[in-house]
Amino acid sequence: MPSEAKYAELSPDGKSLTVHLPLTLRKRGGRKIIISPAGAQQWTPARPRIDSTLIRALARAFRWKHMLETGEFATVIELAAAERLDRSFVSHVLQLTLLAPDLVEAILDGRQPVGVQLQALVRGLPVEWERQRELMASSC
């Protein structure tokens, strides 16, 4: 664009702003990427931070919950014995099934805040979803 080109225009009524961005769309590996003009700062989305320990614990928690709900095991004590794990550990991990669905999805997608770790989640996880979200947000 020439140096005197307008990058933004305000409508005559002042209610809308039109912004012109010089960019190019390219396909790379089946994905569309934005190529910014020379000299412009490159932007890339944050890479997902997959926490395999946390994901494995979530999977276990929901599997164990299903086993208890279907009657495969009558108590957490029976379940812990069958899994050869401490019943306290099993009880703590089962609390992950109380996580808000959007928080579970964020963890599975690798979008959880950096400070969120399994140990912190299984110790004193609030039952209320809004408080869970606040706790996750404060872990940043």
Question: Of 115 and 78, which is predicted with more confidence?
Answer: 78
> Per-domain residue ranges for the chain?
52-138
Taking residues 51-72, what's their average pLDDT?
97
Predicted pLDDT at 88: 95
Angle, CA of 84, 70 and 117, to the nearest 5°: 55
Q: Which letter, b or e, does each residue of 88-110 get, where b requires 16 or more Cβ atoms within 10 Å of its Cβ?
A: eebebbbebeebeeebbebbbee
Angle, CA of 75, 77 and 78, to the nearest 5°: 70
Is residue 73 helix, strand or coil?
coil
Cβ 48 vs Cβ 58: under 8 Å: no
Taking residues 80-97, what's their average pLDDT?
96
Q: What is the pTM of this model?
A: 0.65
Torsion, Cα of 50, 57, 95, 101 (10° steps): 40
Q: Where are the beta strands (DSSP E) in the chain?
A: 8-10, 17-19, 24-28, 31-35
Percentages (nearest 5) of helix, strand, coil residues in the chain: 45, 10, 45
How does residue 140 score in pLDDT terms, banded at 50, 70 and 90? low
- What are φ and ψ of residue 31, in 5° steps? -110, 150
pLDDT in tens, 107-119: 999 988 877 888 8
Q: Which two tokens stand for residue 94?
A: 């089962």
pLDDT in tens, 3-60: 455 678 888 998 898 887 777 787 877 777 777 777 666 666 667 788 999 999 999 9
